[in-house]
A and B are shown apart, each in its own frame.
Chain A
Amino acid sequence: MNLEGRIDIQLQRHGDAPTTVAIHSTRPQLAQKLLAGRTPVEAAHLAGLIFSLCGKAQRVACEAACEAARGVFPDAATSSARASAVLLELAQEHAWRLLLDWPQQQGMPPDQASQLRLRQSAIDPARFAETLDELLRTILLGEPAAVWLARDLAGFDAWRQAGATVTARLFAGLGEGADSGISEVDLLPPLGNLEAGEARELARRALETPAFCGQPMWHDAPAETGALARMSEQPLLAAWIERRGRGAEARLLARLLELAELPARLSALCSADGAAGATWVRAWSLGDNAGLAGVETSRGLLLHAVRLLDGKVAEYRIVAPTEWNFHPAGPLFQALSGLTPGDDLAARARLVAQSLDPCVAFGVEVTDAK
């Protein structure tokens, strides 16, 4: 038994018939255990300390949820500072996938130097935006982000075939056929589009039914969250999805598109009032000393719901993106159910699971039905 839990994916082949898929998560729900009885200040500090992958997002979500529970909302400067902290973390996670993980999976050396430069620039949002912009121009895209973002599907295919950067060559290696690991599961709306009534309903279910946090539902059905859900209306991605399907490759493209947009978004945050931050961090007062906060992270929407009693945490629930994407009947389930049963099924299943990027280790086991 591992403290962080893990995700086990079992695939059973039945000759030419569709593969049977079972997804089992042992991720523990730690929020109540760790945060109950703490003051909001202690809880926010702890949340940021304990969750390593998205520590900034966890800390911000905790601060915003506890404030909302008290009926307090941050000023514009605080909102902007929180949104940029969240964005810097999101960008570094996206970069990690593109600069380290993906090359390594394809037997190429990871670009640790670029990842380190990005990390080192994260002490200042303006410097980070400049560094990211330069990495996009030189290492990732090979041309200015604005030029690359204006490409249509044919332009994108020409870019990857020209192969001027490692990233372009990795995309070229995906081929031009249909996407793999296609899911038609609903997309969770981006945080900025979430209606107050919907947010309240999510919070109510999380607080009343702890099991909801382990297998969350959107309008009574599983849903996908992440860069793909946030970027699905971007013209190039929308064209890709329409032509090739919403699969593992669409998710990689969504990540690169979102990263390419981030320098401009960060600059907007630095100069604008607090309103621009609402795309990335939002909170709702629920009455009765309860509050909900939503934060967009690299892997998708992170929700914190809290109820305070006498100034301390009485109930605390976290709904993390991995629980949406690895729901036993959710996006991964559907994506894997559509894979053709072949000899390399385990490797293909791993790529699909990686495209949904779980925040814990996962394993794939393939068996044949007798």
Chain B
Amino acid sequence: MCLAIPARVVEIKENDQAIVDLGGVRKDISLALVEGVVVGDYVIVHVGYALTLLDPEEAEKTLALMAEAGLMEQAVGA
């Protein structure tokens, strides 16, 4: 993945696995490379791994900004 679209963690499963919501699309990812993630947190996902735990305010700002630039409709349609 090239663009850092904030993904919201909606469910945490066994073995560091989790489900994230990425602009309305649900994806299975691994939490093996970040620590202390809880449901509701925003993370940046890179080829199946959550990489960065985001400050919620920063995440909302990024999402708003991407929407403002007309990027999110395309992302949701992906």
Q: Which residues of A contact B (CB under 8 A)?
A: 1-4, 27, 30, 33-34, 46, 49-53, 55, 100-101, 112, 115-116, 119, 359-360
List the A side residues contacting B1 at CB < 8 Å.
Answer: 4, 52-53, 360
- CB <8 Å contact, B33 and A116: yes
Please measure, in the bound complex, the distance between the C-alpha atom of A119 and the C-alpha atom of B32, giving whole angstroms: 11
In addition to A51-B2, A51-B4, A119-B33, 6 A-B residue pairs with Cβ atoms within 8 Å of each other are A2-B74, A3-B71, A50-B3, A100-B49, A112-B30, A112-B32
Cβ contact within 8 Å between A52 and B32: no
Q: Report which residue of A4, A100, A101, A119 has the largest number of chain B beta carbons within 10 angstroms of its beta carbon.
A: A4
A1:B51 contact, CB within 8 angstroms? no
B4 pairs with A55, CB closer than 8 A: yes
Q: Report B's interface with A, CB cutoff 8 A.
A: 1-5, 30, 32-33, 44, 46-47, 49, 51-52, 58, 62, 65-66, 69-72, 74-75, 77-78
Residues of A within 8 A of B47 (CB): 101
**Contact present for A50 and B78 (CB under 8 Å):** no
Question: Can you show 5 pairs from A to B with CB atoms below 8 A apart?
Answer: A30-B69, A49-B58, A52-B44, A52-B46, A53-B46
User: How many Å from the CB of A300 to the closest CB on chain B?
Assistant: 14
Known: A52-B1, A52-B4, A55-B4. A3 touches B33 (CB 8 A): no
Are B2's CB and A2's CB within 8 A?
Answer: no
Closest chain A residue, CB of each to CB of B71: A3
Report the minimal beta-carbon distance from B70 to chain A, rounded to whole angstroms. Answer: 8
B3, A51: Cβ atoms closer than 8 Å: yes
A3 touches B3 (CB 8 A): yes
Interface centre among A27, A34, A53 (most CB of B within 10 A): A53
A138 to chain B, nearest CB (A): 19
Those 3 A-B pairs whose CB atoms lie nearest each other, nearest first: A52-B4, A112-B32, A3-B75
Q: What's the nearest-Cβ distance from chain B to residue A330, in Å?
A: 18
A119-B51 Cα distance, complex, nearest whole Å: 9
Question: Bound complex: CA of A55 vs CA of B30, how far in Å?
Answer: 21
- Min CB distance A276 to B, Å, is 28
Contact among B52, B58, B78 for A3, CB-based, below 8 A: B78
In the bound complex, residues from chain A placing their C-beta under 8 Å from that of B49 are 100
**CB pair B65 A52 closer than 8 Å:** no
In the complex, are the beta carbons of A359 and B2 less than 8 A apart? yes
- Would B33 and A115 count as touching, CB distance under 8 A? yes
Least Cβ–Cβ distance between A50 and chain B, in angstroms: 6
- A55 contacts across to B, CB distance below 8 A: 4
A100 vs B32: C-alpha distance in the bound complex, in angstroms?
A: 11
**B54 → A minimal CB distance (Å):** 9
Do the beta carbons of A52 and B33 come within 8 Å of each other?
no
CA distance A115 to B47 in the complex (A): 14
Residues of B within 8 A of A2 (CB): 74-75, 78
A194 to B54, CA, bound (A): 37
* Neighbouring A residues of B44 by C-beta, 8 Å: 52
Pairwise interchain contact B33-A1, C-beta atoms closer than 8 A = no
